[in-house]
Amino acid sequence: MNSFVLITGATAGFGEACARLFAENNWNLIITGRRQERLDTLQKELNDKYGVEVISLCFDVRHQDEVITQLKALPTTVTDRLDILINNAGLAVGKGPIDEGIVEDWERMIDTNVKGLLYVSKEVIPFFKKKKKGHIINIASIAGKEVYPGGNVYCASKHAVDALSKAMRIDLVEYNIKVTNIAPGAAETEFSIVRFKGDESTANSVYDGFDPLTAIDIAETVYFAATRPAHVNLNDIVIMPTAQASPMVLHKES
């Protein structure tokens, strides 16, 4: 009768690494994302390898109707054991001066990073309130702490996540619900391939000349936050590559 953790965006990067680490530690999983094939493969792999229960839900966090349908369909035998929500699904699309921004890119970032996080949280919080226990871990970013050239709308969306983490902590404290905000710097995942719309050479060049964070680094940080004693909450964690002092100060070896 182990607990469940719900991870949004578990088909790649941080979310997938979290799924692997929690499963290895005997947590049951609800994994989500839009790529059904990847969900199916991960579900089978983690179930076979660790014997944990793995529920996969394929939906787009931007579509509130899908979020509601999928999460309301979970049986109470699962939701009563759901202890952690990792709001991880997110993306940057494009990087450039604000006046040259593409409105569709802005909307994808705001709809995914801010509204998607809200839609999922809105469905999960009642499960936590019911049992007066739960932990929401929001994957924000260093882009939610500082703004860098060309980062405009992505940075704004992650500043919103930072604010929502603080707001959730205030509104949910009386229900014994923990809220942790995790703000990573540069990590090599599919993030830059998505940001640069499939341009792999530009994406790879982001990580040239230094050791970026890995998805495992973030999963270990999430897992550490998730496994503190009941009376301890880590409010806000900034995690950077050693070579990155701030978004714009990167020590690269040439």
Q: Please give the Cα distance from 222 to 181 (Å, whole number).
A: 10
Q: Which of 150, 149, 213 is nearest to 182 (CA)?
A: 213
Q: Is residue 152 at the binding interface for ligand 8X3, with CB under 6 A as the rule?
A: no
Q: Is 186 in the site for ligand 8X3 (CB under 6 A)?
A: yes
Q: Which amino acid is at 229?
A: P
Catalytic position from the list 50, 119, 148, 154: 154
The C-alpha angle 130, 136, 139, rounded to 5 degrees, equals 160
Question: Cβ closer to ligand 8X3: 11 or 141?
Answer: 141
Binding mask 87-116 for ligand NDP (x = CB under 6 A): -xxxx--------------------x---x
Can residue 180 be called a binding residue for ligand NDP (CB under 6 A)?
no
Q: Using CB under 6 A, which of 27, 128, 191, 196 touches ligand NDP?
A: 191
Beta strands in the chain (DSSP E): 4-7, 28-33, 54-58, 82-87, 134-139, 177-184, 236-239, 244-246, 249-250
Nearer to ligand NDP, 11 or 28 (CB): 11
- State the DSSP string of 195-250: HTTT-HHHHHHTTTTS--B-HHHHHHHHHHHHTS-TT----EEEE--TTEEETTEE
**Interaction partner, residue 128 (ligand 8X3, ligand NDP, none; CB < 5-8 Å by kind):** none
Q: How many C-beta neighbours within 10 Å does residue 193 have? A: 16
Q: Assess contact for 31 and 10: CB atoms under 8 A.
A: yes
Catalytic, 50? Answer: no
112 binding partner (options ligand NDP, ligand 8X3, none; Cβ < 5 to 8 Å by kind): ligand NDP
Interface with ligand NDP, residue 12, by CB under 6 A: yes
Segment interacting with ligand 8X3, rule: CB under 6 A, options 16-24, 100-108, 121-129, 135-143 = 135-143
Distance, CA of 102 to CA of 94 (rounded, Å) = 8
Q: Which does 9 bind (CB under 5 to 8 A by kind): ligand 8X3, ligand NDP, none?
A: ligand NDP
Site string for ligand NDP, 44-63 (x = CB under 6 A): ----------------xxx-
Tokens representing residue 188 in the block: 């090599």
Q: Which of 60, 51, 55, 48 is nearest to 25 (CA)?
A: 51
Distance of closest approach, residue 125 Cβ to ligand NDP, in angstroms = 19
**Binding to ligand 8X3 in span 89-108, by CB under 6 A:** 92
Q: Do 82 and 6 contact (CB within 8 A), yes or no?
A: yes
CB-based contacts of 96: which residues, under 8 Å, 6+ apart?
Answer: 150
- Residues of this chain that interact with ligand NDP (CB under 6 A) are 8-15, 33-35, 60-62, 88-91, 112, 116, 139, 141, 184, 186-187, 189-191, 194
Interface residues with ligand 8X3 (CB under 6 A) are 92, 141-143, 151, 154, 186, 247
